[in-house]
Structure 1
Amino acid sequence: MAIIDVKNVFFKYESDNDHYILKDVSFHVEHGEWLSIIGHNGSGKSTTVRLIDGLLEAESGEIYITGDLLTPENVWEKRHQIGMVFQNPDNQFVGATVEDDVAFGLENQGVTLEEMKARVSQALDLVGMSEFKQREPARLSGGQKQRVAIAGVVALRPKIMILDEATSMLDPEGRLALIETVKRIKDQYGITVISITHDLDEVALSDRVLIMKEGQVESTSRPRDLFGRKDLQLLGLDLPFTQHLKIALKASGFDLPDDYLTEKELQEKLWESTFKM
């Protein structure tokens, strides 16, 4: 069942009469799915998720959220079903402490104090930030700030979480740790996740990937099928680390298959190759 259904959407900014950012974009996101959206800068990725969240309004086409057509009349109701984490978490902080910041959205929704305390505590525990609850958000590291931003979303119990390049400012270790945290939360609560990213190691953890090119959907596929494509660099994308490593190992004489291998699969193949040598 589709929790999000985007149908024939066109969008352009009023100041640009000739250039459409999105041209006849259609796709769906299934309930509980993790969909990654990738593509060149300017391909329309961020515009697409801002339309889904109601921050922008399409010129034409339809967007359905949890079965309802998104309209100016129900946009605020639908936003309560969506939690969004942006590239720079500093722009989202409003509380004097980590605890206050996570509680802010709950206060706006009129959640009782007792329920609020329970949700804040649970959300901070889920992202591993309980010991920092009295810290000032500005004094946290980049990865810690993003964890707090995600905790603020999780506390609201949304049906959908959107990550708009939320890991792009982190180092590789921090990116992986954050994405694994999101995956754990997704699996535990059945949250639907949409992530915009340039990191194909992040894409590997998703269920399905959508490629955008010049304002249109170029293709959708499973990550394994995507990484098997020979034209990733023509799409402005790099190969995942495991693919780079596999190519180097094959050049050194290791007998490895041509299709994509996860880190675990690559490790198993290397063990097999080692015992054969």
Structure 2
Amino acid sequence: MTNIIEVKHVSYKYDQEDEHYTLNDVSFHVKQGEWLSIIGHNGSGKSTTVRLIDGLLEAESGEIIISGDVLTPENVWEKRRQIGMVFQNPDNQFVGATVEDDVAFGLENQGVPLEEMQQRVQEALELVGMLDFKKREPARLSGGQKQRVAIAGVVALRPNIIILDEATSMLDPEGRLELIRIVKDIKEKHQITVISITHDLDEVALSDRVMVMKKGQIESISGPADLFMREDLKDLGLDQPFTVTLVQQLREKGLELPSRYFTEEELEETLWALLSNK
């Protein structure tokens, strides 16, 4: 897979008179069709990183390359068309009187012809399970429904990259899981690249790689399984997965289980095999 995003030695600070850099010499890449989760405490540089990628902020030094082109003030609007962002609070993104008006808003700005616009709105709402709500006022929707509409508005624009900036943090556990499954289905169906800033274990578990940020720098990049085996997860703002805790307890009871991360399905199959052989 080719790299759709390359961040090379990027530094940034909000206050030019401040000696402290919000991001300090950050370098990483994201492959086409990959899901990269970014985790870390508040102030670690997560949101600043994605705002630099989307061109909402301009790096003080370094390069950001999107689809082979260096991001510049001259091409920032063109590159933004390739990126869709979903924020923590969907109410801040609503502009239409109805759900379908809201999803169509970005398409109108891009001058998409009416017939194509209607088709894209229909497809996007169907994809997120909100077609029956297209005539509703966004303000009357639940939090999870609002986030689905926000994602539909992004998907209708057909971006190559979707950035979720703590987009599931205001939802209950069931709503979060439902939303990230929708994003996963969209990613796989359209080969979209996903970057998510999150503290949610289920969201991290679905990603291909996880980047840990600390004090404006990259602390580590690994697969979710390797991350979940770390003993300092609480220091990173993550809970320990249920299966990791359970495996530790089972080992203490004398069960011989490999020292690795298990999904719930894998652990169930492993325990069944172990007990069947006794």
For normalisation by structure 1, the TM-score amounts to 0.96
- 3-state SS of paired residue (1:258): coil
Measured in 2, the distance between the counterparts of 1:133 and 1:244 equals 43
Residue by residue over 1:214-269, the C-alpha shift from the partner in whole angstroms, topping out at 9 and shown as x without a partner, is 10011111111111222222333221232233334444554432210012111212
Question: Aligned partner of 2:224: which letter?
Answer: P
C-alpha separation in 2, matches of 1:152 and 1:60:
33
Rounded to whole Å, the distance in 2 between the matches of 1:169 and 1:245 is 28
Offset at 1:168? 0.5
Q: Deviations over 1:90-130 (max 9, x none)?
A: 00000111111001000000111110111011001111111
Distance 2:247 2:96 in 1: 46
Establish whether residue 27 from structure 1 lines up as the match of residue 36 from structure 2: no
Distance in 2 of aligned mates of 1:252 and 1:91: 51
Which deviates more, 155-164 or 201-210?
201-210
Gaps of at least 5 residues in structure 1 are none
Instruction: Indicate the SS of the match to 2:162.
Output: strand
Q: Distance in 1 between matches of 2:17 and 2:175?
A: 38
Other-structure match for 1:36: 37
Instruction: Give the AA of the match of 1:62.
Output: E
- 8 Å CA contact 2:37–2:204 kept in 1: the answer is yes
AA aligned opposite 1:89: P
Q: Is the 1:201–1:240 Cα contact (8 Å) retained in structure 2? A: no
- After TM superposition, the structure 1 stretch with the greater mean CA deviation from structure 2, 242-251 or 56-65, is 242-251
Please give the alpha-carbon distance, in whole angstroms, between the structure 1 residues aligned to 2:245 and 2:134.
40
Structure 1 partner of 2:103:
102
The alignment's C-alpha RMSD in Å is 1.4
Pairs within 5 Å for 1:93-242: 93-242=94-243
Segments of structure 2 that go 5 or more residues without pairing to the other structure are none
Q: Which amino acid aligns with 1:196?
A: I
- 2:47 alignment partner in structure 1: 46
8 Å CA contact 1:208–1:223 kept in 2: the answer is yes
2:72 maps to amino acid:
T
Distance of 2:35 and 2:49 partners within structure 1: 16
Rounded to whole Å, the distance in 1 between the matches of 2:191 and 2:223 is 19
Give SS of 1:145's match. helix
Letter in 2 for 1:217: I
Tell me the distance in 2 between the aligned counterparts of 1:148 and 1:249.
43
Give the fraction of aligned pairs with identical amino acids, expressed as a percent. Answer: 74
- Where 1:83 maps in the other structure, the secondary structure is strand
Determine the structure 1 residue equivalent to 2:58.
57
In 2, Cα distance between the equivalents of 1:259 and 1:120?
Answer: 44
Q: 1:176-233 deviations in whole A, cap 9, x for unaligned?
A: 1110110100000010000000112210101111110110011111111111222222
Q: Where does residue 90 of structure 2 map in the other structure?
A: 89
1:14, CA displacement in angstroms?
A: 2.4
TM-score, length of structure 2 as denominator length: 0.96
**What SS class does the counterpart of residue 87 from structure 1 fall into?**
coil
Checking the alignment, whether the CA contact within 8 Å between 1:201 and 1:241 is kept in structure 2 is no
- Retained in 1: the 8 A contact 2:36–2:195? yes
One-letter code of the match for 1:113?
L
What code does the residue aligned with 2:38 have? I
Question: What per-residue deviation string (whole Å, max 9, x for no partner) do you get for residues 5-34 of structure 1?
Answer: 000011001265211100000000001100
**Structure 1 SS opposite 2:97:** coil
Distance 1:198 1:16, change over 3 A: farther
Q: Residue 75 of structure 1 aligns with which residue?
A: 76
